[in-house]
Structure formats: C-alpha cells, structure tokens
Structure 1
Amino acid sequence: MAITPLAALHRKLFDETDGSKFATLKDRLIRKHGETDRLAVLDILSAYARDGQLLHWRSSLVNSMVQLMQPQELQEFFSWAVTMPELAYWGIDGLLKSRGKDAYDTVVALAMSDSQPQQVRAKAVKSLAVVSRQPFDAGLSQDPGHWKPESLRLADVLAWQRAGYPDGAGFAPPATHASLDDPRTPLEKAAAKLEKKLAAERKKDQDLARPSNWLVIASEADLAAIDERWTLPEQYRRFLARYSPLRVYIDSKRYFQGLNLYGAAELIKKQHGYAYNPVDQEIIAGWPVHYVVIADAGADPYCLDLSAIADGDAPIYTAEHGAGAWRFERHADSFVDFLKEIAKAG
C-alpha cells in the first residue's frame, strides 16, 4: 500500500534530528494539510508534543496546536500539557481555549504556585487577562516572559476568583483626534496617511493592555513639560498635541534597524544619551543645544533644528552614532516632509 503524503510527513517529522529541517517539515505539514486534514495534523502534533525527541520543538508545537484547534477540542491533551514543565507555558492557552471558564481554577492555581517557573506564572496571569478581559496585564509587556515577579497582580486575580470569575470590560482604544478621519492641511494629511499605515500593523498584532503603533491625543501635563523645555515649531507642536506617537515603530529598510518615532510622553526622556547624561545629571558636551531628537533608527538620531524655524516648521538632521563625533547631515527640509517620508516608508 502506498504511503500518503501526510503519513510520509508524519514519519519524517518523528525521524528528523536537525532542528532547522524539523521546522521546515512542521511548516509544510501545517501549510499543506492544516485545513484539509486538520484533525489528523493535530493528532500528529500532539503525539510529537508527548513523545518527540526534540524537546524544544515539543513546546513550540503546543503553540501551533493552539492556533490550529477549535474551541472545546483536545481537552484531555491540554489538561495533561499544563502539568508538564516543558509544555505548560503554551499549554495554558490551549487549556483555556479547550475548556473555557472551566479552566479558570486550574490556571489560577498555576499562577499562584511558587513551584512554577516565573514565566509560567506570568503567562497564566496574562492569558487569564486576555480571556476574561480583566486588567491584570494593564501597562505590562505584551510578552509575559518579560514580567518581573512583582508584576504579577495575584491579589487581583484572587479577588476575581472570589467574585466568581466575572468578565471584565477590556481596554478601550486610545483616544485619537477627529482630523485623522477628515484631514485637510498638509500636516493632517501626512498624519492620516501614517495612521493608515499604523492601523494595518495593529491588525497584525495589538494588545490594548499596552497599545502600540497609535497616534493619540497628548496629555496636557506632557505638553506643559515640553513647552517649559523648548519652543517647538508650530507644526511639530501641533503634531504632538493631536497625533502623539504611542510606541510607534516603523519597520522599513529606509531606516537602520527600523524607526522609533517619539511621542509627547517620552520626548524629554529620549534626549538622554544625546543631549543629557541622566547618570551624571550633566549636559553632554558636543551636542548641538538647538537640536531636539524626535526619532531614532538603531540609536541614530533624527533631530529638529530649533535654530532654523521658518513658517512654523524646521528642518530635520541626522547622524550616525558611535563615530566618535557627531557629523550631522540634513535629512528633510521640514518636519512635515519627514512625516510624509515616514508614512510612505516601505
């Protein structure tokens, strides 16, 4: 009897000992058979997660299973997986997807257990927050592997348990300016184009507990602190007030290692290491006092030249860091031109 392509992939997967080749086989299995033979693929992945010889990939396959499964499937497997130290991290998501609220007691117990690794406890809290829409993860990194032990809001989790596990309200999107939907001026049109670009990125990956890639209305306190420090060009000041970047990162070959565009909440702090040394609390010699860093690409600064403000705008200069001395070059004739460039960057 001829061996089917699925059976052949099954055999190759279990026989492979090279990690990179295993990854190729796994991707092929899911890509070619994930839709047409979904349950059979899940059987193969679960069998490898239980007994496969590449331990690292056993854990990764659990995550692949979570993406491929439907709610209420594989309850027995995931009830077992969360008891296995090497599988528990991703197994938590599978258990919640397969058992829903019936899994809450088990996942809360994992969060509370001192015997569990920190990252597993953090993952339990994060996953409970996502599923229940409770704010246990407010302001924390999207990746619970980066959480510190003091970040675990265990008292809040226990209070929620005592209340009978009520659903929360989730997180509202950040407040944005109405002109993004009806842009008229060159600044507004450039900001609206950038917002469209960022919205596409948010569809790929967004966690409203710690939102990223938004243009938001700045706080009055942040603007007051900025106004106390500098007299900014009108166009850039209006941009910060109406479209303050919130963790905006532009992934583009145009900028070395991508571009971080600063918002009002971080603008003053982002001068550290360029104009100001926060450790010695001293102005850094050699930095042009009229330059304000508004973005960086791999630590290469992009600066507004406050000494050349004209018609409410100012040119942008940039330089490579680590060269021993700053050698600035004119990058854009105005902030609005720079914003247009960022919005078009691909």
Structure 2
Amino acid sequence: MAAAPLAALHRKLFDETDGNKFARLKDRLLKKHGADERQAVLAILIAYAREGQLLHWRAFLMTDIVALAEPGEYGDFFSWSLDIDGLAYWGVDGMLKSMGKEAYARLVALATAENAKLSVRAKAVKSLAVFSRQPFDAGLPQDPGHWKAEQLRLDAVLAWQADGYFDGAGYRAPATHYTLTQPLSRLEMAAAFLERKLAPRRQHEQDLAQPSNWLTIASAMDMAEIDAHWVLPEIYRRFLEWYSPLRVHVDGKRFPQGLHLYGAAELVKAQHGYSVHAVHHHQIASWPPKLVVIADAGGDPYCVHLEERSIDGDLPVYRAKHGAGGWRFELHTDDFIDFLHQIALAA
C-alpha cells in the first residue's frame, strides 16, 4: 500500500528545484517511511546523493544516510563518496559505520592526502580518533572543520598505522569533587544543583577530547597562579578549587547572549580586555581595582569585589554593559550562591 506514496515522493524529490520545498519533502519521506521502509528510503537518498540536481542537498543528505544505514551496509557507496567533493566529509563516518576497522587504511590515506580538502582530512583524523579511542584529537576543537593543517597530527596517525591500528584507552572524564554527590553546605548544594543541570548537556553533546560543561577539581598550579594575583573571597576561592568550571556555557531567557562562567585555568587571562589591556597587558586605570571578572555574557562582565562580604561570608556579584563608553557597574545579586542558582536554571 505504501509503494505508491513512496514512489510519488521519490519523483517529487528529484523534480524539486526549491531548496525549502525539498527540505519538507525529505522530512516527510523520513517521518512517514524511514522506519518501516528503511531500505527503500535509503535507496532514494543514496540515488539523490549520487545524481540529484540540488548540489548542496546532495551533501546535506549524507547525515541522514549515515544515520539510517546499519553497520555493514553500503560500504561501496560510502567508499565512492570519499572521492566526491561535498560528500566526503560525512562519508568518513559512513565508512566507519559500514566497514569498521577495515576502513582504517582508506581513511589514513585520506587524512594524509595533501590534495584533499583540509576539513575532510581533519574529519578523517577526528573520526578515526573517536572510533579507535586514540588521542589524535586531544584538546582540539570539537568540530574538525575548525582545525588547522598543523593540528592534523599525522605523525601520530601514521605511527598508529605502523603499529597495527591498536585501540586506545580513550579519555577519562574530568576529576570532580566528592561533595557534588554528597553536598552539605550552601555552596556545596548550589554546586551540586548546577552539576545536575549541566549533566544532561554533557550527555547530549559531550566530546571528552575537549570536555565542556563540567565542574572539576582545579590544579594546584592554577590555584597558585590565582593566589599570586589576588586574595579572593573565601567562598569564591573554594568554588574555584573544588568546582572549577570547565568550558561552562549556558543560555536562556536570563542570559540570551549566553553566559560563560570562568574556571581556574582561565581566570587570570580572562581579565584581559577588562582590567588588563588585551594587547599590551598593562593594568587599565579606569577599571575599578578591586573587581575581578568571573563570567561574561556577550562581553558584559560579571564581577566579584575582593573586599566586600555579607554577614554569612557570601559576596555580591556586579554586572556592567560593555560598549557604553565607560564601565557602570550595578549590583546583579548580593549572593554569589544565588548567582550559581541563576546559572543552573539557565542550563
């Protein structure tokens, strides 16, 4: 019964010249037929990727093809796609899904091919790293499209090939403080609440080669550098020491531009452009000397004051807008722990 509607969608896809209409047709194809007629839908998508008239959609369809294909399927197609401009990037993942370790040699050759696009070569290295649990991507941007040629680490890739493509150990999750699961104090409970809100983000988009949205134990070296610059309020210093934010970025109605909460490893450098000149690194006279920037939202700084405390030892958080011709600080919250709750609710 479904053969006629599927054939009609097939014809409409191949005849359509409007990209927006094509997108709707493709979505209808996947929604109505992707589960029950997976092989037939894949045949249509693969045929379009090979010879469809909307060139950009030929490339976009690759992610759907990789997602629908099961291990062991369509190796010939994915192998063919590696030689096609626009298809090769996602064809890399298709090769690994289809052929597993048998794809390694072809992908190493692609990674080392100087005539191939840098983004495709980087994608080959990144996907090989993820599949084999090797650290070729350690510390590099999650999107290999942002890698530079010198970040490909081809010597390590070729050495791995020479050693027989052995599996690596993968990455360990960052070290966290035990109080995140056994909180007692107000600070501990606020950090644990923020951690619970960040955890789903990590599960959805985590890449442990460049971990993000973690609260981690700060290194002694980072804390020593901080102590050499400031005598931080005790509650904020404890937060950094036990729950140092690692690429924590949240957004929402309260922070529509997104808020970046600084960790111990970046706190000193994060003052550049605020209290410290971004180029010459001298102190800026117009900056209030007792304010330390602990976060920013689209460039708007959030600061703590080095000498202000509340009765219970908490401290206020101030905010100012950048680009206003001068810094005009206003009280954002008189409680740092409340600030953590605001961030958690936006996560």
TM-score, normalising length: structure 2: 0.96
Aligned AA (1:312): G
Aligned-CA RMSD value: 1.5
Instruction: Give the structure 1 partner of residue 19 of structure 2.
Output: 19
Please report how far the alpha carbon of residue 233 of structure 1 lies from its aligned counterpart in structure 2 after TM superposition: 1.3
Instruction: Report % sequence identity.
Output: 64
Instruction: Give the structure 2 partner of residue 345 of structure 1.
Output: 346
Distance in structure 1 (CA, Å) of the matches to 2:2 and 2:66: 31
Mapped contact 1:187–1:336 kept (Cα < 8 A)? yes
Between 1:275-284 and 1:5-14, the stretch displaced more is: 5-14
Instruction: Give the structure 1 partner of residue 272 of structure 2.
Output: 272
Instruction: Give the structure 2 partner of residue 261 of structure 1.
Output: 261
Instruction: Give the structure 2 partner of residue 174 of structure 1.
Output: 174
Please report how far the alpha carbon of residue 326 of structure 1 lies from its aligned counterpart in structure 2 after TM superposition: 1.4
Aligned AA (1:256): P
Secondary structure of the 1:330 match is strand
Mapped contact 1:235–1:336 kept (Cα < 8 A)? no
1:106-146 residue CA offsets vs partner (Å, 9 max, x unmatched)? 00000111110111111110010010000100110111111
Instruction: Give the structure 2 partner of residue 228 of structure 1.
Output: 228
Secondary structure of the 2:137 match is coil
Please report how far the alpha carbon of residue 285 of structure 1 lies from its aligned counterpart in structure 2 after TM superposition: 3.1
Please report how far the alpha carbon of residue 2 of structure 1 lies from its aligned counterpart in structure 2 after TM superposition: 9.3
Mapped contact 1:303–1:318 kept (Cα < 8 A)? yes
User: Which runs of no fewer than 5 residues in structure 2 stay unpaired?
Assistant: none
1:49-101 residue CA offsets vs partner (Å, 9 max, x unmatched)? 00111111111111211112111111111111111122111101101110111
Distance in structure 2 (CA, Å) of the matches to 1:290 and 1:95: 56
Distance in structure 1 (CA, Å) of the matches to 2:164 and 2:247: 35
Mapped contact 1:240–1:264 kept (Cα < 8 A)? yes
- Equivalent pairs counted in the alignment come to 346
* Cα 1:23–1:285 shift into 2, 3 Å: farther
Alignment of 1:140-155 (within 5 A): 140-155=140-155
Mapped contact 1:252–1:259 kept (Cα < 8 A)? no
Distance in structure 2 (CA, Å) of the matches to 1:327 and 1:251: 23
After TM superposition, where is structure 1 displaced by more than 4 Å over at least 4 residues in a row?
Answer: none
1:149-173 residue CA offsets vs partner (Å, 9 max, x unmatched)? 1001111111111111111110010
Instruction: Give the structure 2 partner of residue 247 of structure 1.
Output: 247
Distance in structure 2 (CA, Å) of the matches to 1:44 and 1:2: 14
Mapped contact 2:211–2:247 kept (Cα < 8 A)? yes
Please report how far the alpha carbon of residue 3 of structure 1 lies from its aligned counterpart in structure 2 after TM superposition: 7.0
1:9-57 residue CA offsets vs partner (Å, 9 max, x unmatched)? 2222222222222222222222222212211111111011001111111
Between 1:170-179 and 1:249-258, the stretch displaced more is: 249-258
Instruction: Give the structure 2 partner of residue 35 of structure 1.
Output: 35
TM-score, normalising length: structure 1: 0.97
Mapped contact 1:247–1:262 kept (Cα < 8 A)? yes
Secondary structure of the 1:136 match is helix
Alignment of 1:152-167 (within 5 A): 152-167=152-167
Please report how far the alpha carbon of residue 325 of structure 1 lies from its aligned counterpart in structure 2 after TM superposition: 1.3
Aligned AA (1:203): Q
Mapped contact 2:233–2:307 kept (Cα < 8 A)? no
Mapped contact 2:271–2:292 kept (Cα < 8 A)? yes
